[in-house]
Amino acid sequence: GEDVEQSLFLSVREGDSSVINCTYTDSSSTYLYWYKQEPGAGLQLLTYIFSNMDMKQDQRLTVLLNKKDKHLSLRIADTQTGDSAIYFCAETSYGSSNTGKLIFGQGTTLQVKP
């Protein structure tokens, strides 16, 4: 079945790099996503990676994909207090009827200490 796993909590100091990890099970996933949710707010799409890519960089964000191990990571360089939020990993899953849906991990709460 489809499953996405993330660690629940990460604490870093301001200025350090943060690495949030995710594992998924659906090998047919075409796209993998990272969403950010600030307290009391909606989900903001941060970045996504196509499954035939190994890496994608977007300013302070670097996404690494290891398709063999079904492992996805999000690295945030020079982490700021404004990066404190919950980060969700998600995969696109297609069932037998070819209907797509997002399967989310449990979310990783990133705490950035000044």
Partner 1 sequence: DTAVSQTPKYLVTQMGNDKSIKCEQNLGHDTMYWYKQDSKKFLKIMFSYNNKELIINETVPNRFSPKSPDKAHLNLHINSLELGDSAVYFCASSPTWPRQETQYFGPGTRLLVL
Please give the residue ranges that form the binding site for partner 1 (CB under 8 A). Answer: 30-31, 33, 35, 37, 41-45, 48, 86, 88, 92, 94, 98-102, 104, 106-107
- What is the distance in angstroms between the CA of the first residue and the CA of the last residue of the chain? 41
Nearer to partner 1 by C-beta: 31 or 58?
A: 31
- Which CB atom, from 7 or from 31, has the smaller least distance to partner 1? 31
Contact 89, 102 (CB under 8 A): no
Of the candidates 80, 87, 49, 82, the residue with the CA atom closest to the CA atom of residue 65: 49
Minimal distance in Å, beta carbon 89 to partner 1?
11
Nearer to partner 1, 52 or 99 (CB): 99
The angle formed by the CA atoms of residues 43, 46 and 48, to the nearest 5 degrees, is 115
- Taking the complex as a whole, how short is the minimal distance between the CB of residue 57 and partner 1, in angstroms? 18
